Amino acid sequence: MIITILIAFISLIGLMVIHEFGHFILAKKFGTKVEEFGVGYPPRIFGKKFGETIYSLNLIPFGAFVKVHGEEGGIEDYHSFTGKPMWQRFCIVLGGVVSFWIVSAVILSVIAGVWGLPTEVDDSQSVVDPKVYVAKIMADSPAKEADLRLGDVILGFEKIKGIQEFIGFNKGQELTLAVKRGNEFLEKKITPRVSPPEGEGPLGVGLGRSGLKIYPWYEAPWQGIAATGSLTASVFNGWAVGVKSLLGVAKLPEGIKLELMGPLGIFDLLRQHFGMGINYFLFLISLISVALALANILPIPALDGGKLLFLTVEALRGRPINHKVEQKVTSVFFALLIILMIFVTVKFDIPRVF
C-alpha cells in the first residue's frame, strides 16, 4: 500500500518536473539564462550551482519550477527572457506544454509494443483480453432501470454475439449480469423485454467490444503518437460536453455523470490503476499528461496559456504590457485557481476517496 502511494506520488511529481524541463531545455537552447531549476517549492532544502543555474530540492513537494532570467519583465539584456525575439519566447513557454504530449506519446509507444493499446474491434478480430462493454443506454429501458452505466464491462462474454444470443434466449426472465465498473465488481438484476421498441433490443443498450492490440516495435512509436492525438481529441470533446451541460446548452449522454476531480482524486485514481496492472497505470499517466497539456494551454493567467496570451497582446501592440500589471493579474488568477482546487478537493475528492 505504501509503495503504491509513493509510486503514484512520484509519478505526479515526475510529470511536473518534465513539464518544467521543457521550459528549461528551450531556454538554454536559445541562450536564455536559467537562474534556478527547482523540484518542489521553497523553502529550499538543498541547492547546488552548476554553471549559471542553481539546481534545488525544496520543502513543498507539489510540483517544480524554473526561474528564467528576466521572465518577470524589466530586464532586456541578451540573456534575459524579455530580450529574446518573440518567436523564441513563444517556444520557451510552449516547451512545457509540448513536454506533456511527448511524455504521453512515449508512454503509449511502450504500451503499444509491450502490452497492447486498447482498440475497438468487432467479433471477428482477435485481440488480447477482449471485453464487451456498454456503449449506449436507451431511456426508459431495462438497462436504465438496472443502473447499468456507460463503460460497464459485462463479464463472462468475449464477443457481442454471445451476449445477444444469451439475452435472446432469456427474454422475459430475470437475469443477473456480472459487471465490472472501474475496480468494482457488481451484480445487476435485469429482465430483457419480450417486445422492445424498434432498434432498442431487449435490454435497451448498445454494446461495444475492445481489447489490447500489440504492435511490432517499428509500428509502436507511430501508434503511440496517433493514440496521443486520439486522447487529446477525447479529452477536449469531454470538456466541451461538460461545459455545454453546465451552461444548459446540451444534456449529458444517458448514463454519464459530470464529476470534477482535484489533486487528491487524481492521486487516488492513480493508486487504483496501479493495482490493475502497470499498463493500466501507465495509460492513466498518459491521459493525465494530455489533460495537463490542454489545461496548461488555456488562455488563463497563471498558466502557460496565460503567458502566451500576454505575449500575443505584446506582439499585437508592439510593446509589452506593464510587468507590474501582468504580475498582479497573474497573482489574482493564481489565487483563484488555488481556491478552485481547494473547493473541488473538499466538495468532490474527499467524499469520493473517504
Is 78 part of a structural domain of the chain? yes
pLDDT, one tens digit for every residue, the chain (354 residues): 677 778 888 888 999 999 999 999 999 999 999 999 999 988 999 999 999 999 999 998 878 999 999 887 667 677 889 889 999 999 999 999 999 999 999 999 999 999 999 889 999 888 888 999 999 898 888 998 998 988 899 999 999 999 999 998 999 999 999 999 877 899 999 999 988 888 888 999 999 999 999 999 999 999 999 999 999 999 998 888 878 777 777 777 655 667 778 888 887 888 777 777 888 899 999 999 999 999 999 999 989 999 999 999 999 988 888 888 888 999 999 899 989 988 988 888 888 777
Task: Give Cβ neighbours of residue 242 (< 8 Å, ≥ 6 apart).
Answer: 252, 258
Sign of the C-alpha dihedral, residues 177, 179, 209, 250? positive
Residues 107 and 9 occupy one common structural domain: yes
Residues 101 and 133 occupy one common structural domain: no
Residues 107 and 136 occupy one common structural domain: no
- The CA dihedral of 34, 37, 41, 45, to the nearest 10 degrees, is -120
Note whether 177 and 134 are within 8 A (CB). Answer: no
Of 213, 242, 261, the domain-final residue? 213
Q: For 184, what's the count of Cα atoms within 13 Å in the CB-facing half-sphere?
A: 8
**Domain span holding position 338:** 2-111+283-353
Residues 103 and 131 occupy one common structural domain: no
Residues 128 and 99 occupy one common structural domain: no
Is 231 part of a structural domain of the chain? no
- pLDDT at position 351, please? 83
Residues 63 and 153 occupy one common structural domain: no
For residue 174, what is the domain's CATH number? 2.30.42.10
- pLDDT at position 87, please? 95
Is 270 part of a structural domain of the chain? no
Q: Please give the Cα distance from 131 to 156 (Å, whole number).
A: 9
- pLDDT at position 313, please? 93
Residues 107 and 124 occupy one common structural domain: no
Residues 42 and 66 occupy one common structural domain: yes
Residues 289 and 326 occupy one common structural domain: yes
Residues 14 and 106 occupy one common structural domain: yes
Note whether 254 and 139 are within 8 A (CB). Answer: yes
Domain count, the chain: 2
The model's pTM: 0.85
Q: Please give the Cα distance from 233 to 226 (Å, whole number).
A: 11
The secondary structure of 283-341 as a DSSP string is HHHHHHHHHHHHHHTSS-TTSHHHHHHHHHHHHHHTSPPPHHHHHHHHHHHHHHHHHHH
Is 81 part of a structural domain of the chain? yes
